Structure formats: C-alpha cells, structure tokens
Amino acid sequence: MKKYSRQREMILQSLRNRVDHPTAETLYEDIKAKMPEIGIATVYRNLSDLCETGQIVKIKSKNGPDRFDGNPEPHIHFECDSCHEIYDIYIHDVQTKKMDNEIQRLAENIGAEAESSNIWIYGFCKKCKLLKNINN
C-alpha cells in the first residue's frame, strides 16, 4: 500500500464529491485552484494509483479523453451520442443479481467464467433527445 499523500487524498475526495465524470485535465484545474503547487503529472500518477487500488474507475469514453468516476460501486454508464455527457444508472440488488447470473451464463456459452463486467448504454440523453425531436 502506498503511503498517505495529501494530493492523492484531495483527488479522491474531489472525485467522490462529483456526480459528473471529469477528465484528468478538468480535475487538475479544479484541484489547482485549491492546491496551486500540484502538477498535472501528479494528478495523472495519482489517478492511475487510485484506479489500481479500485478506489476510482477509469472510463474509456467513446468520444474524447478518458474520464474518471469516484464511485466504484456497481452501476451502468450511459453516454450521450450528441453531447457526450456520461450519466450513472443505478440498479437494485435484485436486478444486479439477475444481470450477474445472465452474464455468467453468457460466459459459460464459450466455456469461460466471468469475473467482472462493464455495461455501457449509448444513445441520446433527455436534453439531446428533446432537441433532436424539435429539429425533426
């Protein structure tokens, strides 16, 4: 385990206090306002460490740079094809168990055993769907 770092703690708390999914650069700009001495390399290094320990999740966006999620609890991500915002979708324990069982069954179809999964939904968010309907 790595020793305590004030920078890492600030990055972790900043991510946990957000509902959006910032890029490393966005996080850097926010943290720099509170900790002017922090460098972008420090942010990247600590984000990598926090991902390795499972405290945060790195999100590979379909469009643009990687994003980060301070909530490592199981949930689904929705990415808007128009504005590229990423939203969290939470499901109940019963739904999670059903999905886990189905994912395990799908893996067994090829003789594998699933250890984890990452579900993404793509489409148009509420705002962009409304704009799309207005323009049609």
Each residue's pLDDT tens digit, 63-121: 789 999 998 888 899 999 999 999 999 888 888 889 999 999 999 999 999 988 888 99
Token digits of residue 41? 């390399």
Domains and their CATH numbers in the chain: 1-72 (1.10.10.10), 73-136 (3.30.1490.190)
High-pLDDT (> 70) share of the chain, %: 98
Does pLDDT of 1 surpass 70? no
Listed in sequence order, the residues at least 6 apart from 47 whose beta carbon sits closer than 8 Å to its beta carbon are 11, 24, 27, 56, 58, 68
pLDDT value at residue 93: 85
Q: Tokens 């790595």 belong to which residue?
A: 2
Q: Examine the pLDDT at 136 and tell me if it is beyond 90.
A: no
pTM of the model: 0.79
